[in-house]
């Protein structure tokens, strides 16, 4: 039988078929963690789970966030909780 390379993101053990997707996912989680950290620093009232989910939500929708910052503010209305093009193995298993 053959052996096949898999790529695991060590932030949450998500598995990927290729390095490119794994890197993109890892980068997204890094952005999410930093956004959550910034948010918790400035909004002590926000509970941890919601702050984490919001960091991930923004990171998953970073293209829309960039568009909004560049002037197309209505892009924020398209921000949604569905995973963007970065899918983990489990999602497409």
CB of 3: closest distance to a second copy in angstroms?
32
In the bound state with a second copy, the residue whose beta carbon lies nearer, of 68 and 89, is: 68
For every residue of 19-85, DSSP letters joined together read: HHHHHHHHHHHHHHHHHHHHHHHH-TTS-HHHHHHHHHHHHHTHHHHHHHHTT-GGGGGG--SS--S
CB of 93 to a second copy, least distance (A): 27
Residues that bind a second copy (CB under 8 A): 27, 30-31, 34-35, 37-39, 42-47, 50-51, 53-54, 57, 62-63, 65-66, 68-71, 73-74, 76, 79
């Amino acid at each position: 039988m053959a052996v096949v390379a898999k790529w695991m993101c060590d932030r949450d053990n998500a598995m990927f078929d290729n390095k490119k997707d794994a890197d993109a996912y890892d980068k997204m989680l890094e952005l999410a963690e930093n956004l959550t950290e910034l948010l918790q620093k400035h909004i002590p009232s926000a509970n941890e789970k919601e702050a984490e989910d919001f960091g991930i939500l923004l990171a998953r929708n970073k293209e829309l966030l960039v568009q909004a910052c560049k002037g197309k503010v209505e892009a924020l209305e398209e921000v949604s909780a569905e995973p963007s093009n970065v899918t983990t193995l489990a999602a497409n298993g």
